[in-house]
Structure 1
């Protein structure tokens, strides 16, 4: 039984809504990005840029989030690409390079020419981050120069950068549980697990993630409502996402009821499949019987010396089938 929708566009939109929240983004960077500048990122110095740099070639494929920050009085741009496809795309470094170039082009377009030509002018740093939730191992090159032919010949004479990869499915459950923040809660619920484990994780988050605010719980609840499989929602209503906002004494009862419903649904589905398989077997048997009947008719007519055309007409076999039977006799 599938838990989450397969369409990457649904995930893109829901994640874009989630990570448009500065608190969540800061939490993600500080929890999952190992860097000396991570400690300098705060909600106060971060600003969401409501502009997409997705190029027309990729507009049906991707979604992005852009933030600006001031670190030591210098502007830094965080370009976050949401990569939620079912396959790994090896053109990722090239795509990121194109988006980063587009951001710098926009900066230059809005700057005065005299400023650009001055000694003091600097382009803002761009930190590319890829957020990936696919089930396949990420084997794409992280460094841009590694997709340039014969890069080893040119050393530092060619452009290079390395993007940050946050691979949701690579984190262990215990590692995420220890963090107990909104970013780790989202990752826990988006990893590839079965339905029972999924319900168990919601239960643990509802009971043990005491640092989550009511607003953050509502954000996750909305995200679940958007991404949960329609079949799951139709069978269970809104009960799954309601676990997150229930009182702790109610959580155990709710999860037990949902687990029971899921088990009953599974048993019903399995019984329907068994009955369907039995009916298919009967139909196959009837078909085999019909074929055997045709062959018996043809054999009797061949023994009686009837012409081939007549045998084909009455047995419903093809000419080749009748000729093969004649050879075997």
Structure 2
């Protein structure tokens, strides 16, 4: 299911500034780094085959390269999962695009077809396993038929694994860094660069779309975010989470509460009484929160790679939410596990 953040992410590529940085940052060609925003023009992305069936390509741009009116057509395909037949799909898209150009008499001055640059933007979590070459999807032909086989390749940009562009001001590189950040240091660095980049005049037309996207993305991660400018994401993160451990605890507890709330409601409904519903919700919340906190605590202990005190698992199983939270706080502040859990057996007088 597509989220609002996914929709806003796609809309980023409706801006020539974003497409310019896409080519400049990820295409290994000198001319790609010299293109001006004015060289880009968005074109029709819906075509009809000979049988009349409509096909819609996610996004198509053309860019004027050099001093002549030579257009490189850029097909952008957005993918959330690996598609084994993507090379074949791209061949179909390219063919329909070129047919459409012929039908509309939109050829080059030499009456030839323009070059095409097929790009797949992949934002899934798993590895992209599909071949980028159509030849790999076909059986080897009998001798003498090699030259008659169709050929098609595409460029894959994996936002979670692609190397960042050399230019630190490349807005798409900053977006990718933000999406794959795993620590508060990485996220704060990306958000800081994002806020600084939003001040540049060359990004002005895309600023609103970029701000809406990052605000919605952070709202998905940080509940009840309220931002109105490019600088506020940094302020939000600093205000809500001072440490990575605090972020982990927040996310785990939130998930545990939601799970506990659902379980509690089901339990109360089975009892068929209002009192049962309330009691079930409360018990579910508490148990869900305990489970979440235990998960965070175990994660902190695992990261220490140090010998654990005897009986620690049993203590965790019997501890309430207040005790679990206290242990998490102590470990997050650098406390020694042995001292932290020993102190629990000797409360202050």
Q: Mark yes or no: TM-score above 0.5.
A: yes
Deviates more, 1:47-56 or 1:22-31: 47-56
Q: Deviations over 1:109-154 (max 9, x none)?
A: 2239xx99xxx53112211111111122222111122222224843
The answer as to 2:165 corresponding to 1:183 is no
Q: 1:177 to 1:144 in 2, by over 3 A?
A: closer
Deviates more, 1:101-110 or 1:38-47: 38-47
Q: 1:10 to 1:160 in 2, by over 3 A?
A: farther
Correspondence for 2:286:
275
Correspondence for 2:123:
133
Q: Which runs of 5+ in 1 are unaligned?
A: 1-6, 281-329
Report the alpha carbon displacement of residue 106 of structure 1 after superposing the two structures with TM: 0.9
Correspondence for 1:144:
134
- Say which SS state the counterpart of residue 23 (structure 1) adopts: helix
Quote the Cα distance in structure 2 between the aligned partners of 1:189 and 1:54.
Answer: 38
The answer as to 2:223 corresponding to 1:259 is no
How does 1:49-128 map onto structure 2 within 5 Å? Answer: 49-53=43-47, 64-71=58-65, 72-83=68-79, 85=80, 87-111=81-105, 121-128=111-118
Report the alpha carbon displacement of residue 89 of structure 1 after superposing the two structures with TM: 1.0
Query: Could you state the TM-score of these two structures normalised by the residue count of structure 2?
Result: 0.59
Query: Could you state the TM-score of these two structures normalised by the residue count of structure 1?
Result: 0.63
- Say which SS state the counterpart of residue 119 (structure 2) adopts: strand
Paired residues of 1:24 and 1:182 also in contact (CA < 8 A): yes
Q: Deviations over 1:260-283 (max 9, x none)?
A: 585674475488568326999xxx
- Say which SS state the counterpart of residue 255 (structure 1) adopts: helix
Report the alpha carbon displacement of residue 21 of structure 1 after superposing the two structures with TM: 0.9
Number of equivalenced pairs = 254
Quote the Cα distance in structure 2 between the aligned partners of 1:82 and 1:277.
Answer: 36
Paired residues of 2:57 and 2:75 also in contact (CA < 8 A): no
How does 1:158-197 map onto structure 2 within 5 Å? Answer: 158-171=149-162, 175=164, 179-191=168-180, 193-194=181-182, 196=184
CA RMSD of aligned residues (A): 4.0
Correspondence for 1:245:
231
- Say which SS state the counterpart of residue 169 (structure 1) adopts: coil
Quote the Cα distance in structure 1 between the aligned partners of 2:12 and 2:182.
Answer: 23
Quote the Cα distance in structure 1 between the aligned partners of 2:208 and 2:12.
Answer: 11
Quote the Cα distance in structure 1 between the aligned partners of 2:185 and 2:71.
Answer: 43
Deviates more, 1:143-152 or 1:46-55: 46-55
Structure 1 or 2, whichever has the larger Rg, is 1
Larger RCO, structures 1/2 (Cα 8 Å, 6+ apart): 1
Paired residues of 1:142 and 1:163 also in contact (CA < 8 A): yes
Q: Which runs of 5+ in 2 are unaligned?
A: 261-284, 292-349
Report the alpha carbon displacement of residue 98 of structure 1 after superposing the two structures with TM: 1.1
Q: Which has the higher helix share?
A: 1
Paired residues of 1:49 and 1:68 also in contact (CA < 8 A): yes
Paired residues of 1:54 and 1:63 also in contact (CA < 8 A): no
The partner residue of 1:18 within 7, 12, 18 is 12
Q: 1:277 to 1:136 in 2, by over 3 A?
A: closer
